Structure 1
């Protein structure tokens, strides 16, 4: 179901002395610095594709594809001007901020470790307008086809305080974001002494990817912390289902109201990922689920437990058009998810914060602008949701949460993530 500074700085001039110092020879640029500096020319449409990029890069990306990407950035932000920031994360790897007339692009650059030090990895991890505002972000969200919800919240003693909202009370499908509720119940059980993160349980039945644990040996022993970490960091569905069974569905369902979801009945009972896929794949179960209330849905799950457990599932069902996102899903509003993040902030322990920070949902350089950046999102065809828990360098906590869905076509995950990254960047500033 589915981001910096070794800076290139100019020194400020000093007051002139009686005798000018002897000129100091400039140290030769390292291979990494040379490739970083060449990005300005490359994104202006220049450079030599074959000489600049290694064979493995050219095998995946054609000159025409690269030209389309750089032209799109110029159309959006104007002419590339200069490298504004560089943070080397290794001898051959760096996070780079490339400045344009009207904005910046965050880029992760990797080069070969041997001459001629060509580029083997170049990834644009985010963009930002120079004059961006929350009002601009809200306008861009409202222009998306389908339905959107969005909110930025200051997390204070009395609960989340809205900074800006767009349809923030609207309930919408949120994909794997529901795993935050599973995490919250695990936190509660550990805090109350019912369980320990080190408890060992048996890996349960396989679900569809995303994840890795569907390929692990059946019945493998795993700790509670392993399951929760895999669930949050890579959205592992098999880990999620095993954790839900371990914690007990009734307790996880109760946590939905505890964390502050305003209308828990809309999303209860919480489906495991296998159950959701199975019901979507079976027209009879799908029709029964969508016309039932909470009690009827619980009865349906109980009566069809064996059928759902044995049903073969095909991941290809999620490769095309949306599959019943308004009927079989997990549902919440941005306000609900802000309250969920706030609950985890106040009640989560060290392992909880560490799990949420493994995949911060933004480029590494952007994450380093915060004292803490935690994240959990979710997506499937027609649905994307993103939920950021952020602590600024001056100690203020924020939640940035949003969703976008449509029932008639897939959503553009990259476009939505770019808008959310702009909101996160504004919070950092």
Structure 2
């Protein structure tokens, strides 16, 4: 029952939720939730009496836990978050927590009934973590499927790079940055205004909240854009895409300097993507030319979707045609897009990107601005940041993974992004 005293703790923020605030929602298991609670307690937040069972606290009091946490933080550095949780039995799991200088692993046992308090925790396997570029690249190499990363100034050489910068990756909801750029351009040119009000006249599926709003609800473009970027609201995205126009968004992708925009054309709304992939059209659409796809899209019945089949398709964890039907960009393409966003004549779009940055204040200390958009579906994960240093120089940090055979792990990729960002220090 005793907690191993060889562990180190600190404060960087848990990884259980932030990345997925911008991607598809996933249901957290009791093991994952309690592992995240341990991280919060180590950071000095939360209530130990709610996390640990009375049996555990009889052996390690809340005060003792706090003292041990402080001692171990001094040894191993700040805690980064939950690295992994692997169930080993009905009420037991092996958890690994990442710290600044080490990985700490060990068994965790939960009570059999809700609220599933922790009755046993022993973090007794400590492994040092190398954090330099070579170590990061070794961990990137170990990821399943293919992966790439790029970090550095938009107008200069990379601080860190991994993989082929010209290789296109499916980017999931990060495509919404092209929508945001096209919307901002329309506002700057006077064709639209951020306070224009449009009716909610069609809906998509989660992620997001607007699919639950009343039909016809009045929505400003600013509100829709904020929801599109900060919580990856798919209904808000489709509403904006209809308002700005598919042609304008495709023109924005071309104008950004994208090397192969046709790979993403016709530029699909989220509902179009869902209908095609969860229906009978997927294989034919994947094999079709761009012209044929446009004809198929013109004839597509967006109301013809079996919701049960949709949820089965997109919650199964099995990648669906991610190499053929998605939105695509390479690291070089994303860098070109970030240059567009950094150069926008007015700041509203960048303010929207800064609503949910995933990183906490400590991790972004020294940066004058941080904006973010991420995206995922089964087998696809992309995380992209626009940053400005205190000297006013714009940077990009982007990391991507794609595996057509299996789901990819959000926590692992986010931890790698945090380590890459730290290379700037």
Report the secondary structure of 1:179's partner residue. Answer: helix
Pair 1:81-2:74 in alignment: yes
- Cα distance in 2, alignment partners of residues 242 and 233 from structure 1: 16
Q: Which residue of structure 2 aligns with residue 146 of structure 1? A: 145
Q: 1:191 to 1:104 in 2, by over 3 A?
A: farther
Contact 1:149 1:404 in 2 (8 A): yes
Distance 1:84 1:150 in 2: 25
Aligned partner (choices 371, 374, 388) of residue 371 of structure 2 = 374
Partner of 2:302: 308
> SS in structure 2 opposite 1:81?
helix
How far did residue 408 of structure 1 move? 1.0
Distance 1:408 1:414 in 2: 19
The alpha-carbon distance between structure 1 residues 419 and 99, as it changes in their structure 2 partners (threshold 3 A), is: closer
Whether the 8 Å CA contact 2:378–2:406 is kept in 1: the answer is yes
What is the distance in 2 between the residues matched to 1:100 and 1:324?
A: 36
Name the SS for the 2:396 alignment partner. strand
- Preserved CA contact (<8 Å) 2:41 2:47: no
Q: Which residue in the other structure is 2:247 paired with?
A: 250
Shift of the 348–225 alpha-carbon distance from structure 1 to 2, 3 Å rule, reads farther
Equivalent-residue separation in structure 2 for 1:422 and 1:173 (angstroms): 23
Q: Is the 1:79–1:100 Cα contact (8 Å) retained in structure 2?
A: no
Give the secondary structure class of the aligned counterpart of 2:211.
Answer: helix
For residues 102-117 of structure 1, the aligned pairs below 5 Å read 102=101
Identify which of 182, 195, 199 aligns with 2:196: 199
Once the two structures are TM-superposed, the CA of residue 378 in structure 1 deviates from its matched residue by 0.2
| 1:403 pairs with 2:400 | yes
Structure 1 CA distance, aligned partners of 2:182 and 2:382?
Answer: 21
Number of residue pairs matched?
A: 332
Deviates more, 1:360-369 or 1:139-148: 360-369
CA contact (8 A) 1:204 1:241 kept: no
Could you tell me how far apart the structure 1 residues matched to 2:351 and 2:187 are?
Answer: 15
Task: Measure the CA separation in 2 of the matches of 1:318 and 1:398.
Answer: 33
Most deviating of 311-320 and 322-331: 311-320
Q: Give deviations 1:189-247, integer Å, cap 9, x for gaps.
A: 01111111011111131111000101001111111111111000000000000000000
Counterparts of residues 9-408 of structure 1 (less than 5 Å): 39=42, 53-55=48-50, 57-58=51-52, 80-81=73-74, 102=101, 132-156=131-155, 161-163=157-159, 164-283=161-280, 285-304=281-300, 307-313=301-307, 314-320=310-316, 321-347=318-344, 349-408=346-405
- Secondary structure of 2:166's aligned partner: coil
The two structures, once aligned, show a CA RMSD in angstroms of 3.3
Deviations 1:357-398 (A, max 9, x none): 111122332134421111001011111001111112343321
Instruction: Indicate how the Cα distance of structure 1 residues 303 and 168 shifts in structure 2: closer, same or farther if over 3 A, else same.
Output: same
Residues 260 and 37 (structure 1), Cα distance of their counterparts in 2 relative to 1, 3 Å cut = closer
SS of equivalent to 1:198: coil
Give unmatched runs, 5+ long, in structure 2. 1-10, 13-37, 58-70, 80-96, 105-117, 119-127
Question: What runs of 5+ residues in structure 1 fail to find an aligned partner?
Answer: 6-34, 43-50, 64-77, 87-97, 106-118, 120-128
Q: What residue number does 2:410 align with?
A: 413
| Preserved CA contact (<8 Å) 2:200 2:217 | yes
Do the aligned partners of 1:81 and 1:99 also contact (CA within 8 Å) in 2? no
1:73-112 Cα shifts (integer Å, max 9, x gaps): xxxxx964359689xxxxxxxxxxx99683599xxxxxxx
